[in-house]
Each structure stands twice: as C-alpha cells, then as structure tokens.
C-alpha cells in the first residue's frame, strides 16, 4: 500500500512549490521511490522538479482513441503503454502529469481512465505526492482512493484562514477521505502563525498546523525559472518540510 500526500488550497498559495519540497524531502530521508502526480492541467510541477514532461495521461488517452483501430492492439493495452511512456523518470522519483481531465468524448470515460491509471501507477510506489489545481475538484472526483495526509495550504490573511475552514468543510461534505489533516500557512511575514490559527486548527481537528515565512531564495528561484528542487540544504522552508515529512511520512 502506498502512502499518499495530497496538497490543496486556493490559487497561488504555494501548493506546487510545497509539493516539490515534499518530494525532495521524501527522497532525502529515503522514503522513495516517490511518484509525483501533477493533477493540475496548467501543470508546472515538472518545472519545480527540473523534469521535462513530454506527454500526459490526457494526451495518451487521446492518442489511444485515434490509434487503437489502426494498430492491432486492445485500447487498454495501448493506453498502458502510452501512460508508461508518459512517466518522466528522475533520481528518487518519477513524475506523471494528468493533463486535461475532460477531452472530447465521454467525461465519465476520461475520468475512469484517469482513476485507473493513477491507481495502477500508485500501487508501484511506496510514496505518492499529488499536486492539485486550486480547489478540491480532483479529490472530489475521487481520482485517488485514500489520502493519508491531506495538506491544505493558505496565506496568512484572514480570508485565507477562513478558506482553510471552508475547504475542510467541503472535503467532509464531498466525502473526501483522509487519515491526517495538515494545515500550512505559507508566505507569512515573520514565520508566525496568525491569531486565528488556533481556532482554525480546533474547528478542523487538524493534527498539525505550521507557518512558513516568505523566503527570498524560493522567490528568486521562481523569478529565475529555476526548479525549487535546487533550493539549498540549509533553506529554512525546506528544513521545516523535511521535519514535517519525518513526522508524517
Ligand atoms: N514561502 C514562500 N516564499 C516566497 N515565495 C513563495 C513561497 N511559497 C511559494 N512562493 C512563490 O509563490 C508563487 C506561487 O507558488 P505556487 O505556484 O507554488 O502556487 P500554487 O498554489 O501551486 O499556484 P496555482 O494555484 O496556480 O497552482 C511562486 O512564484 C512561488 O515561488
Ligand atoms: Mg500549482
């Protein structure tokens, strides 16, 4: 059984950056190989990890639709092959990008293909990190079976903190299953938790809530279009994520 860590939150709060650091930390502490799943159609997890993505599950699905008639091979088999070819391999982790969930054709079919592909792939890895698009769409579509640790990311604003509570409520309402809940308040000014943190932790029953400061090195890497994977070993955000992964991984 693989352990799955999923990150969600509203747009631009740092989900993909933190997913990159989750993956680097897991690899660093020997919890590998990790399967990194980029579940955002406007994907950039590959960029954060310094890995080139050539094709996605979405594009594999579309080629299969067009090619399986021409080749004497079953759709399912061809799809497996194409998905395996879409896997980008790196040291300690592999990356798969989901691409667009819905294409032309039946939405349910597309969704089922995704689910099956993710399940088959995930079963081959002891650790899986899922970077989601903003919101809870992917989790509510049940593209993964069971999440071990759901990480909700927010900024420190009052609105951001309220969003955490709302996302938690939505996750419960939509029956998203998870064993542990972690809240991360990212890009805070002094690295301190806002006052409302205690209330939000209490309301959500989160096992853990941590604050991460605004970090110059991470901002510079992004400005220079360099992967967050390259962050220095002594970086304080990286060290905090390492600590978190040791604890929950
Ligand atoms: N702690 C931090 N300090 C400084 N910059 C940060 C920090 N965390 C994230 N960033 C920057 O914030 C920007 C948005 O981060 P990121 O792309 O990870 O957010 P996201 O939640 O994945 O966005 P989206 O919803 O578009 O997928 C990036 O430029 C990233 O480098
Ligand atoms: Mg993102």
User: Can you give the CATH number for the domain in which 152 is found?
Assistant: 3.40.50.300
pLDDT at 21 over 70: yes
85 burial (CB, 10 Å; 0-12 / 13-18 / 19+) is exposed
What is the three-state SS of 129-156?
EEEECCCCHHHHCCCCCCEEEEEEEECC
Spacing of C-alpha 112 from chain mean position: 19
Query: The domain containing residue 221 runs over which residues?
Result: 3-248
Distance from the Cα of residue 23 to its chain's centroid: 10
CB 36 within 8 A of CB 45: yes
Are 5 and 151 a contacting pair, CB within 8 Å?
Answer: yes
Residue whose token pair is 């400005």: 223
State the Cα angle at 192 between 36 and 5, rounded to 5°. Answer: 20
Name the helix (H) or strand (E) containing 128: strand 127-132
For 7, the enclosing helix (H) or strand (E) is: strand 3-9
User: pLDDT > 90: what percent of the chain?
Assistant: 65
Which residue has the CA at smallest separation from atom 6 of ligand 1?
Answer: 219
Mean pLDDT computed over 121-125: 93
Considering only the C-alpha atoms of the chain, give the largest distance between any 2 of them, rounded to a whole number of Å: 63
- d(C-alpha 19, C-alpha 91), whole Å: 16
Q: Does the CB atom of residue 98 touch ligand 1 within 6 A?
A: no
Given a cut of 80, whether residue 105 has pLDDT beyond it is no
Distance 10 CA to ligand 2 centre (A): 9
pLDDT at 135: 86
215 lines ligand 1 (CB under 6 A): yes
- Global confidence as pTM: 0.94
Most confidently modeled of 41-45, 53-57, 117-121, 198-202? 198-202
Look at ligand 1, atom 19, and give the residue with the nearest C-alpha.
14
- Ligand 1 atom at minimal distance to the Cα of residue 18: 18
- Whether 187 is in the pocket of ligand 1, judged by its Cβ within 6 Å, is yes
Atom 10 of ligand 1: nearest residue by CA position: 14
What does the pLDDT average to over 63-81? 76
- CA–CA gap between residue 184 and residue 164 (Å, rounded): 9
Cβ of 14 closer than 6 Å to ligand 1, yes or no, is yes
Number of domains in the chain: 1
CA of 115 to the centre of ligand 1 (A): 27
Ligand 1 binding pocket includes 20 (Cβ within 6 Å): no
């Amino acid at each position: 059984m693989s352990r799955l860590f999923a990150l969600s939150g509203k747009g631009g709060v740092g989900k993909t950056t933190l997913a990159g650091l989750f993956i680097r930390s897991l690899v660093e502490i020997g919890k590998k190989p990790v399967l990194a799943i980029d579940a955002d159609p406007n994907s950039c997890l590959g960029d954060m990890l310094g890995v080139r993505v050539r094709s996605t599950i979405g594009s594999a699905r579309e080629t299969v639709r067009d090619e399986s008639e021409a080749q004497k091979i079953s759709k399912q088999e061809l799809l497996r092959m194409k998905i395996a070819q879409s896997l980008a391999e790196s040291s300690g982790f592999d990356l798969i990008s989901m691409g667009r969930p819905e294409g032309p054709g039946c939405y349910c079919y597309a969704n089922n293909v995704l689910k099956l592909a993710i399940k088959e792939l995930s079963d081959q890895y002891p650790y899986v990190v899922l970077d989601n698009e903003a919101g809870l769409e992917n989790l509510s579509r049940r593209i993964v079976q069971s999440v071990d640790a759901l990480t909700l990311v927010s900024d420190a604003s009052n609105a951001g903190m309220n969003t955490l509570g709302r996302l938690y409520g939505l996750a419960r309402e939509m029956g998203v299953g998870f064993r542990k809940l972690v809240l991360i308040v990212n890009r805070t000014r002094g690295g301190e938790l806002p006052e409302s943190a205690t209330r939000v932790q209490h309301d959500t029953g989160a096992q853990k809530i941590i604050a991460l400061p605004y970090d110059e090195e991470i901002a510079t890497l992004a400005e220079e279009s360099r992967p967050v994977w390259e962050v220095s070993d002594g970086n304080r955000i990286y060290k905090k994520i390492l600590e978190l992964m040791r604890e929950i991984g």
